[in-house]
Amino acid sequence: MEPVFAALLGFALGSIPFGLILTRAAGLGDVRNIGSGSIGATNVLRTGNKGLAAGTVLLDAAKAAVPVLVAGHFWPGTEGIAAVAAVAGHCFTPWLAFKGGKGFASAAGALLALAWPAMLICAAIWAATLYLSRISSVSSMVTVIAAPVAAWALGYPHVIVPLLAIAAIVLVQHRANIGRLMRGEEPRVGKKTP
């Protein structure tokens, strides 16, 4: 039953739609009605409120890191299950008809809790890719693909499978972005989206 407990905890915490909660609490309405329609930090940033976007990043990362740490404490060996479930909960939250965010911030929080040295490498990869491409989705996708490689290189083989599963979820959530990239229509950082 321990894997089930870890999965339920991860999914429950991951499903909390912090981006939507914060924007509504700030009187900015429903963040799903602007930009990409996502509840994630990149879309929250399109409201023009950098503080709310930063808060969304931190909370979305924390809601994945916390269940990983709790699972590791109470049910050792189930950390990867909690991590994947938390990212899935964010992307397919039952509170929003199983729709949600793209999963990158939650993936980062999960990686931080699973293998923090790999997270440092991935943060550098994310920053470099964003600097070079100026496209948020590109930096997110490159980073989640790099995460299992970084974990393997740094000696964390037990987290490779969960990180591959998380990468798959994040990439699926970016399918519309991939389509826009192929058409040359994906917006760059700093460009306002109607």
Domain presence at residue 30:
yes
pLDDT of residue 165: 98
- b/e map of 177-189 (b: 16 or more CB within 10 Å)? beebbeeeebbee
pLDDT of residue 192: 52
Instruction: Indicate whether 49 pLDDT > 90.
Output: no
Query: Structural domain tally of the chain?
Result: 1
Instruction: Indicate whether 38 pLDDT > 80.
Output: yes
Domain presence at residue 61:
yes
**Mean pLDDT, range 41-57, rounded to an integer:** 88
Question: Nearest 5°: CA angle at 10, between 6 and 12?
Answer: 120
Rounded-to-integer distance, Cα 169 and Cα 186, Å: 20
Instruction: Indicate whether 29 pLDDT > 90.
Output: no
Give me 6's structure tokens: 């870890």
What single letter denotes the amino acid at residue 37? G
Q: Give percent of the chain with pLDDT exceeding 70.
A: 97
What single letter denotes the amino acid at residue 180? R
Domain presence at residue 194:
no
Domain presence at residue 192:
no
pLDDT of residue 35: 76
pLDDT in tens, 148-187: 999 999 999 999 999 999 999 999 999 999 999 999 888 8
Domain presence at residue 191:
no
pLDDT of residue 190: 63
Task: Identify which of 107, 115, 62, 111 has the alpha carbon closest to the alpha carbon of residue 87.
Answer: 107
Domain presence at residue 53:
yes
pLDDT of residue 182: 93
Domain presence at residue 120:
yes
Domain presence at residue 167:
yes
Give me 94's structure tokens: 């039952």
Instruction: Indicate whether 145 pLDDT > 80.
Output: yes
pLDDT in tens, 111-142: 999 999 999 999 999 999 999 999 989 999 99
141 contacts 77 by C-beta, under 8 angstroms: no
pLDDT of residue 186: 86
Range of the domain at 11: 2-183
| Confidence band for 191, pLDDT divided at 50, 70 and 90 | low
Q: Which carries the bigger pLDDT value, residue 83 or residue 38? A: 83
pLDDT in tens, 87-117: 999 999 999 989 989 999 999 999 999 999 9
Instruction: Indicate whether 194 pLDDT > 60.
Output: no
